[in-house]
A = this chain, B = another copy of it.
Amino acid sequence: MENSAKQFRKRNAILACLRQSEAHPSAEELYHSLQKEHSDISLASVYRNLKLFKEEGLIVSLGTVNGVERLDGRLDPHVHFACTCCGAVMDVPDVEVPKSVSCAAAQSLECRVESTRLVLTGICKNCL
């Protein structure tokens, strides 16, 4: 109890770490980032909490890149770019999926659209 870090659950550390990251990390990358401050955290806890966060709507999944799931702590809708060369995932600033797209889908398929995910793929600046 003397240790101030222990005042907070690791759950909070995981969420904070994801929110601070710009890299849209995987569970394992998050686990490694957390090692510095919380060397006694377990990978299973990272996975378990990420799963909970997704269910609670606190984070979103960007889908998998090269077979591993990438996550985002930003909740506002935005477009992503994924480099097929180095695996980096980055935000595309100042662009959004037009509302007309989801409206058209809802109308023609008679479905309810709850979220949109637009991922551009290609080669990033560094890899070019």
* Complex interface: chain B residues within 8 A of A105 (CB): 79, 81, 92, 95, 120
Question: Which of B92, B104, B106, B113 makes the CB contact (< 8 A) with A109?
Answer: B92
Interface size on A, residues (CB 8 A): 37
* Complex interface: chain B residues within 8 A of A124 (CB): 109, 111
Counted per complex, copies of this chain come to: 2
A32 within 8 A of B: no
A92 to B114, Cβ gap below 8 A?
A: no
Which B residue's beta carbon lies closest to that of A113? B122
A114 to B79, Cβ gap below 8 A?
A: no
Which B residue's beta carbon lies closest to that of A69? B64
A57 within 8 A of B: no
